[in-house]
Structure formats: C-alpha cells, structure tokens
Amino acid sequence: EAQVTQNPRYLITVTGKKLTVTCSQNMNHEYMSWYRQDPGLGLRQIYYSMNVEVTDKGDVPEGYKVSRKEKRNFPLILESPSPNQTSLYFCASSSDPYEQYFGPGTRLTVT
Amino acid sequence: KNQVEQSPQSLIILEGKNCTLQCNYTVSPFSNLRWYKQDTGRGPVSLTIMTFSENTKSNGRYTATLDADTKQSSLHITASQLSDSASYICVVSARAGTASKLTFGTGTRLQVTL
C-alpha cells in the first residue's frame, strides 16, 4: 500500500530535550516536505527536499533541522524544542511539488 | 503577498443537504488550485486539482469550480453524508521558476448532522 508514515504519532517532551520525528514514504517520490498546523493558521511549510541531499527552508524553518540521506526518509529534528513548537506536524511526499500525499500527523507537546 | 482566504470558517448542515465552500486567492503567478479534505486527526487528502484552463472538476459528490479572472474557487458538496464532516482546505500553487510555492487556506470546518 502506497503511504507516508510518521513516528511517533504522539509525543510529549520537555523544553530543550532533542527529538526526532521520522517520516518515510514507499512511493519513490523525489519531493518531500514538513508542515506544521496550528489552529487558525493553516498548514505552514517548515522545510522541503526536492531530492536526496537537497533541502531548503520553507516559511517557518527556525528551530528545525532536516536531512535527506535516502530517498524514502526525511526526518525532522528539533535540537532544543520550545513550547512554541507545540503543534501538529505533517510530512508529505510527491512526485512533483503539487500532488502532496500527507502522512497521518504527529502531535507534539513541549512543556 | 500570496494569500488564500476561505469562507465560511465553519458550517453545520443537515445530512442530505447541499453546501458550497468558498476560496478566494491572491496568488501569482497562478499554477493550479487544489481542494483537500482533512478528517479530524488525520492528514489532508486531495479531492480535486484544477489548472488555469479548467473551470469545473468533479469527484463523486464533490464539484469544484474555478474562476481565474476573479480568482475565486468553490467546492460544492451534493447530498451530504455524515462522513463529509471534516475540514476542507484550499491550496493554491504559484510557479516559481523550476520550483513551486504552495499557499494554504485555513480551511472550512464542515459538520454534517442528523
């Protein structure tokens, strides 16, 4: 089954404790991206990658890092999480920038 | 600044009724417009995509329209079902050289009741 998977689905952590949210897709897509979704603000792009070893900042990249060492994986790294990064995070992949297949989401709470 | 505005913010309708959701955008240069359905706690799922030359596209009981001159789109849901309860997000793509830029609306939350 074609899908985008994210782990963990739910995470509660404390300020400053480094964490990684994994994202994996099995559709051989070149294009992957990370979004955060906050009430009243809609989806905002954090980072995107157009292929292996090619990443670029989206609209809200501060406080996040990504890497794309393999085509199927695109982890999101929070080196020092802060409460303002409490949000619902989505990974998406596509064969072009328009057709986005979204993962199930990761709800992150930073206390 | 590229913007996508959706209305209404929320809507409650009775099962079996029709409804229309609106999307106005100021995105340039326009490439395409997509409507997504997002169930609570799930990722968005694409319903339709329309390019500049298309003014109507259907997907079952969902029909999207696009007026590129007025920069407006609508999503019409026919004979609503309880399973239509979700947020509907309008996303507009702008061409940016070889890349693209997506602008998301904040969504319309639809609740279908008995």
- The average pLDDT across B26-41 equals 91
Mode of pairing for the β-strands spanning B10-14 and B108-113: parallel
Mode of pairing for the β-strands spanning A106-110 and A10-13: parallel
- The average pLDDT across A25-52 equals 92
- Whether B43 contacts chain A with CB within 8 A: yes
Confidence of residue A74 (pLDDT cuts 50, 70, 90): very high
Which of the residues A96, A100, A101, A107 would you substitute to probe the B interface, choosing the one with the greatest number of B C-beta atoms within 10 Å? Answer: A100
Peptide bond before residue A8 is cis, with ω within 30 degrees of 0:
yes
CB B102, CB A44: distance < 8 Å: no
Average of per-residue pLDDT values in chain B:
92
Name the residue facing A97 among B42, B100, B104 (closest C-beta).
B100
Confidence of residue B37 (pLDDT cuts 50, 70, 90): very high
DSSP bridge partners of A57:
A47
